[in-house]
């Protein structure tokens, strides 16, 4: 279960940080505001706003009432955030295009693997172009790969702390991808793409893929690994060539990765 330990500490600073990242995805700047107030309208609870705020509408789709309410209350601690609580994706599908959320947090913990993947497909086929995070009890690498390939941008486990969950929500809203460490485990078999066995990755290339899947840009990857940006670009080119893909998004969504050389 996502715990609320530490939530509410230095709340003013938390609001500013969260709003800065959510606003960055729409090129807006939002300042601090007073504590949350709960309003109604279009079925959404709203955090406090100040004039000029651009609200971020988050849909929390979870069949379990306690978890749905805990996540909603966690988000409502931040200004400029509205929350729509849904039990099923059917409730979302009833909304018109003017009420589409900016972020969907889709609970998959008490569903079969196929049911969860089908719901991701339904949302994408229904022209939901918003950011999408899957909430699950475990983090099976093959499920993670399938969810990303179908259009999810993040995986959060219910064992995460509130701080980690909020960071994941912020990262995805800022345009990144969040995957827990356990979801990055590579399979030991070579990757097969288009009927061909691709080359194996080096340890450095796997490090770069791990950071890439955390939503980090080339500049930050270079800084963390002590490399130049040019070297990172060369590694990315080699990764794409070995894996038979054309861009960063396809690297993140690969169903499996080649085992690196020792």
- Residues 53 and 28: their CA atoms lie apart, in Å, by 9
- pTM of the complete model: 0.58
Measured between alpha carbons, how far is 156 from 235 in angstroms, rounded to an integer?
Answer: 28
Look at residue 107 and give its three-state secondary structure.
Answer: strand
Same fold, 11-177 and 192-252: no
Beta pairing, strands 131-136 & 103-107: parallel
The topology (CATH level 3) of 192-252 is Arc Repressor Mutant, subunit A (1.10.10)
Shortest CA distance to 81 belongs to which of 65, 64, 101, 61?
101
- Annotated domain spans of the chain: 11-177, 192-252
Report whether 232 contacts 239 (CB < 8 A). Answer: no
Q: Does domain 11-177 have CATH number 3.40.50.2300?
A: yes
pLDDT one digit per residue (tens) for the chain, 262 residues: 554 444 444 444 444 444 454 433 333 322 333 333 333 333 567 654 333 445 789 999 999 999 999 999 999 988 889 999 999 999 988 877 777 899 999 999 888 889 999 999 998 888 788 999 999 988 888 888 888 888 899 999 998 888 889 888 988 888 888 887 766 653 333 444 444 445 577 778 888 888 888 888 899 999 988 888 888 888 888 888 877 778 887 787 765 444 443 3
């Amino acid at each position: 279960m996502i715990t609320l330990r530490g939530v509410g500490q230095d709340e003013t600073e938390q609001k500013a940080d969260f709003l800065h990242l959510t606003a960055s995805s729409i090129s807006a700047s939002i300042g601090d505001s007073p504590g949350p107030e709960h309003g109604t309208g279009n079925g959404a609870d709203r955090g406090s706003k100040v004039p000029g705020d651009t609200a971020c509408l988050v849909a929390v789709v979870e069949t379990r009432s306690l978890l749905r309410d805990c996540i909603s209350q966690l988000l409502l601690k931040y200004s400029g955030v509205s929350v729509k609580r849904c039990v099923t994706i059917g409730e979302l599908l009833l909304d018109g295009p003017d009420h589409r959320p900016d972020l969907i947090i889709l609970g998959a913990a008490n569903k079969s693997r196929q049911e969860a993947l089908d719901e991701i497909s339904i949302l994408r086929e229904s022209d939901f172009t918003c950011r999408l995070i899957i909430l699950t009890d475990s983090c099976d690498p093959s499920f993670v790969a399938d969810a990303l390939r179908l259009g999810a941008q993040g995986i959060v486990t219910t064992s995460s702390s509130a701080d980690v969950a909020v960071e994941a929500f912020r990262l995805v809203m800022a345009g990144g991808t969040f995957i827990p460490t356990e979801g990055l485990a590579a399979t030991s078999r070579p990757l097969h793409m288009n009927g061909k066995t691709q080359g194996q990755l080096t340890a450095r290339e796997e490090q770069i893929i791990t950071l890439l899947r955390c939503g980090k840009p080339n500049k930050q990857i270079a800084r963390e690994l002590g490399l130049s940006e040019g070297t990172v670009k060369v590694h990315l080119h080699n990764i794409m060539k070995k894996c038979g893909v054309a861009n960063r998004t396809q690297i993140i969504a690969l169903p499996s990765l080649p085992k690196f050389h020792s």
